[in-house]
Amino acid sequence: MNTPAARGVAATNLVQAYASGRRLWGKPDTFHAVDRVSLTIAEGETLGIVGESGSGKSTLGRMIAGIETPTSGTVTFWGQHYARVGTPEWRRQRRHVQVVFQNPAAVVDPRWSIHAQVREALTTHEQLVPSEADDRAQAMLAMVGLAAMGKRLPHQLSGGQLQRAVIARALVLNPRLVVCDEAVSALDVSVQAQIINLLLELRERLDLSLMFISHDLSVVRHISHRVGVMHAGELLEIGDSGTLFDNPQHAYTQRLLAAIPADSPRQRRLRDINAFSGHAASHTPVQS
Ligand SMILES: Nc1ncnc2c1ncn2[C@@H]1O[C@H](COP(=O)(O)OP(=O)(O)OP(=O)(O)O)[C@@H](O)[C@H]1O
Ligand SMILES: [Mg+2]
């Protein structure tokens, strides 16, 4: 199945059923956290995912990233199925897909310098002479603006710096897909904008595919080529970012969009920083 058309991710009819905690006729009852979702993410494309809390965004992201096996449905990743979670083949596949979560402190080792952690990600997957591993880790830290901070321990960095270190650790393996699950949500607005600009820059430089999950619609609009709207486990609509935001088809999407303030401080800040750095997504930038 390794045809050129297979460059990217394709999900077909994904379902994730969890136990609801209730019992029905003596059997545990289940509900569908994700219900028959089909989507694609092309090489170099950013797909934003929005939807209210509990709508299934993270569950969908974990299945797309291959860290959770769907109850039914399939994911093909550059033409191949993911191996069963935890198998040696699955561990080999891990280098091609990375996940960045909201809380960087929870995913780093507090005892190791950030250089050591970036380096370790690399040496887990590649046989390298020590000097080459050091050089590549250092180059990656420089790319995220932490060139002078490699020796620091996680607690010696700010939240934004630590998230940059986590992004460096995710990207040092040159993955094809990065799933960002509320990756900037916990950060101060100006730091959010810096990290988003960093992702936009790395996306261009490394031709990354991104799945960008966020409850922040203005950020999603800014970064995404296409956007999908989740509601109660289903993908209600999916389409080109500009079209979806300007002309939402579904009443739920219209209500979701109506909740964005017309000109929030965050939108103004993003616009200012873009004007300053010359970055823009490939669609119409955030409107005031
Ligand atoms: N491991 C699990 N076991 C049982 N139920 C789960 C599990 N993970 C998620 N759920 C449930 O599945 C539904 C979807 O959860 P999910 O975390 O995907 O939502 P979300 O859209 O990411 O929400 P949020 O915006 O709050 O992060 C929720 O009802 C949640 O309680
Ligand atoms: Mg979530």
Buried b (16+ CB within 10 A) or exposed e, 106-130: ebbeeeebbbbbbbebbeeeeeeee
| pLDDT tens-digit readout, 168-218 | 999 999 999 999 999 988 888 888 888 899 899 889 988 899 999 998 898
**Interatomic CA distance for residues 35 and 269, integer angstroms:** 36
The pTM assigned to this predicted structure is 0.87
Identify which of 16, 18, 184, 231 to mutate to test ligand 1's pocket (most ligand atoms within 8 A of the CB).
18
Look up tokens 């956290």; give the residue: 33
Beta strands in the chain (DSSP E): 8-24, 27-42, 46-50, 72-77, 80-81, 97-100, 177-181, 209-213, 226-231, 234-240
3-state secondary structure at position 127? coil
Identify which of 16, 20, 57, 69 to mutate to test ligand 1's pocket (most ligand atoms within 8 A of the CB).
57
Q: Is the dihedral of CA 75, 78, 84, 86 positive or negative?
A: negative
- Ligand 1 and 53: CB distance under 6 A: yes
**Interatomic CA distance for residues 218 and 184, integer angstroms:** 13
Beta strands in 104-233 (DSSP E): 177-181, 209-213, 226-231
* Distance from the alpha carbon of residue 227 to the mean position of ligand 1, in angstroms: 20
Residue span(s) of the chain under CATH 3.40.50.300 come to 1-78+177-288
Instruction: Put the strands of the sheet holding 226-231 in their side by side order.
Output: 97-100, 177-181, 209-213, 46-50, 226-231, 234-240
Q: Can you tell me the mean pLDDT for 82-99?
A: 90
For residue 27, is pLDDT > 70? yes
Q: Can you tell me the mean pLDDT for 159-173?
A: 93
* Atom from ligand 1 closest to the CA of residue 230: 21
Structure tokens at 74: 């399939």
- Ligand 1 and 16: CB distance under 6 A: no
- Point out the least confidently predicted range of 28-37, 109-118, 133-142, 270-279: 270-279
For residue 282, is pLDDT > 80? no
Helix, strand and coil in the chain, % to nearest 5: 40, 25, 35
- Ligand 1 and 244: CB distance under 6 A: no
- Residue 30: other Cβ atoms inside 10 A: 15
Q: Can you tell me the mean pLDDT for 122-144?
A: 94
Terminal-to-terminal C-alpha distance of the chain:
45
Phi, psi of 270 (to 5 degrees): -60, -40
The β-bridge relationship of strands 72-77 and 8-24 is: antiparallel
CATH 3.40.50.300 fits 1-78+177-288, yes or no: yes
**Interatomic CA distance for residues 97 and 65, integer angstroms:** 6
What percentage of the chain carries pLDDT values higher than 90? 64
Q: Ligand 1: which residue has its CA nearest to atom 1?
A: 18
